[in-house]
Amino acid sequence: MKSLFSFPNPVNEVAARTVAAGVVLMAVVALVFELPWMLIPLTYGFWARVLTGPTLSPLGQLATRVVAPALPFAERLTPGPPKRFAQAIGATLTTAACIVFLTLGWGAAAWLLAALVVAAFLESALGLCLGCKMFALLMRLGVIPASVCEECGDLSRRHPALREQRGATV
């Protein structure tokens, strides 16, 4: 049985990119209209997704239950731990933006939000997850143990052609 406080593994890449598009939309609206209160739902959403995946995230629910299934793209599964790491970076950035807003004002916080827009846009539009790239680098450096995401370290688990090729060489 799935726990309330669990992150899905694997993750539907289409839903993840849909969430990223929602983050871009919310953050751009906050920046264009100078709405610092938008930091609250953005921050909540990231923390909710880190802790529970889409379960307690309104944007996560919308993406996984409504938008992604309605899109003309097939579900594409990808490992969950790198996506969770990316959500944790978003949680850190938005939490920092809230603190910076309270101490230094909107102008300084807006720079952190702009960085978030860039990263979320790359994920949404191009499928380039900067947090996932950082996760992979940290795995290669040994900072994140291979046991955290065995699938990440063994591409043959995701790609049948590699699995067959590996089986032939072993």
Q: Is the dihedral of CA 27, 28, 31, 37 positive or negative?
A: negative
| pLDDT exceeds 50 at position 18 | yes
Render pLDDT for 37-95 as a digit per residue (tens, 0 to 9).
Answer: 999 999 999 999 999 999 999 999 999 999 999 999 999 999 999 999 999 999 999 99
Give me the residue spans of the domains in the chain: 11-129
pLDDT at 16: 97
Nearest in space to 116 (alpha carbons), one of 25, 27, 16, 37? 27
| pLDDT exceeds 90 at position 6 | no
pLDDT at 2: 59
What is this structure's pTM?
A: 0.87
Residue 152's pLDDT band (cuts 50, 70, 90): confident
pLDDT at 163: 53
Alpha helices, DSSP H, located in the chain: 13-32, 39-52, 58-62, 68-70, 80-104, 106-121, 130-140, 150-153, 160-169
